[in-house]
Amino acid sequence: MSILTPKALSPSPCLGKPRNPIPNPKFRSFKPHVTQFHCTCERQTERGIEFDTGESFFRHESATGRDLGVLAAALYRQSKGSLRVLDAMCGCGIRSCRYLLEAKADFVLANDANDEYRGIIVGNLKKVERGFGDTRRWVVSHFDANRVLTECYLQRDFFDLIDIDSFGSDSLFLRSAMSALRLNGLLYLTSTDGYSSGGHRPHCSLAAYGAYIRPMPCSNEIGLRMLIGGAVREASLLGYHVTPLFSYYSYHGPVFRVMLQVNRGKEHENRHYGFISYCSQCGNTRSFSWEELGQISCSCSSNKSLVLWMAAQNLKHC
């Protein structure tokens, strides 16, 4: 099997080898019927684009999430004049394909750790002429997302949009993704951790996003704020600040997606970063700043407030 190695990544001897660098038990270990560029596949259509999924992880229900990413990318391309996309967990490659065809991306790096998807991804991307040298439109690689992102950062090979379509939480990739992103670039994050947003695993959400989440009625919105809050925290550490452009919750999964713009400069006083209280007695919900932390209570004086960390109160929902 041949491999198309990203030109901009480090010429490390490991790059270019057609193997999965991390034999991670979390990856599905099936063997689809794949030859070099051919597979026994299921044919699908999304927004008029035909593609194969083979046995890769693919969900029709995620189409809206892909639409929103493509729309943001197209607007970015229109205003900045060029667009380089890193699709860090591309699955069968439909997302990369749509960034190329619909958002007119100049270049897409389509990465998925599972090298058994290679035939499917390349087959789908071949709709767009690959090009050579500086005019190359796309490259496929099979590495852990953190490695690809870090290599891009080290090579000063920055991207305008980084899409991380992960399972579970993607807080693990936040720092490397922000480092590989061009200033003013777009970061499209995912969480599928419905247990955390529902307040059923407060220690997991605390570890992943710094948010101690307890059960409360608006858990879908909380899941989005949790994700943004984690990014706000990581950005601040790196000397950046983030602006949420849109957020999207979908019942399947569930899937929480947020599009953030990342800029240089810390926000010294972040009015949108604080706590939400929910009174289990009267149902009242309100936000508290860090300065008000010791005063959290409810006007019904039941004193049964639950506390959790809130982020980005100015979040715009689509």
Interaction site with ligand SAM (CB under 6 A):
27, 56-58, 62, 66, 89-92, 94-95, 112-114, 144-145, 165, 167
Q: Minimum Å distance from CB 91 to ligand SAM?
A: 3
Judged by beta carbon, residue 54 or residue 274, the one nearer ligand SAM is: 54
Judged by beta carbon, residue 24 or residue 303, the one nearer ligand SAM is: 24
In three-state form (DSSP H/G/I as H, E/B as E, the rest C), the secondary structure along 12-45 is CCCCCCCCCCCCCCCCCCCCCCECCCCECCCEEE
CB-CB contact of 152 with 158 (8 Å): yes
C-alpha span between 318 and 120 (Å, rounded): 32
Judged by beta carbon, residue 68 or residue 216, the one nearer ligand SAM is: 68
Q: Minimum Å distance from CB 96 to ligand SAM?
A: 8
Judged by beta carbon, residue 167 or residue 246, the one nearer ligand SAM is: 167
CB-CB contact of 41 with 50 (8 Å): no
Q: Minimum Å distance from CB 208 to ligand SAM?
A: 15
Closest CA to 122 of 96, 146, 99: 96
Q: Minimum Å distance from CB 291 to ligand SAM?
A: 39
CB-CB contact of 238 with 175 (8 Å): yes
Backbone CA torsion sign across 237, 144, 197, 204: negative
Backbone CA torsion sign across 54, 60, 65, 68: positive
Q: Minimum Å distance from CB 57 to ligand SAM?
A: 4
Judged by beta carbon, residue 257 or residue 272, the one nearer ligand SAM is: 257
Q: Minimum Å distance from CB 146 to ligand SAM?
A: 7
Judged by beta carbon, residue 106 or residue 163, the one nearer ligand SAM is: 163
Q: Minimum Å distance from CB 98 to ligand SAM?
A: 9
Kindly provide the residue ranges of all beta strands, DSSP E only, lying in the chain, ordered along the sequence: 43-46, 49-52, 84-87, 107-111, 138-141, 159-163, 181-191, 240-250, 255-264, 273-279, 285-288, 305-311
Judged by beta carbon, residue 66 or residue 77, the one nearer ligand SAM is: 66
Closest CA to 28 of 71, 88, 91: 91
C-alpha triplet 52, 248, 26: angle, nearest 5° = 55
In the chain, count of helices (H) and strands (E)? 8, 12
C-alpha span between 146 and 152 (Å, rounded): 10
Q: Minimum Å distance from CB 259 to ligand SAM?
A: 15
Judged by beta carbon, residue 102 or residue 267, the one nearer ligand SAM is: 102
Please state the length of the chain: 318
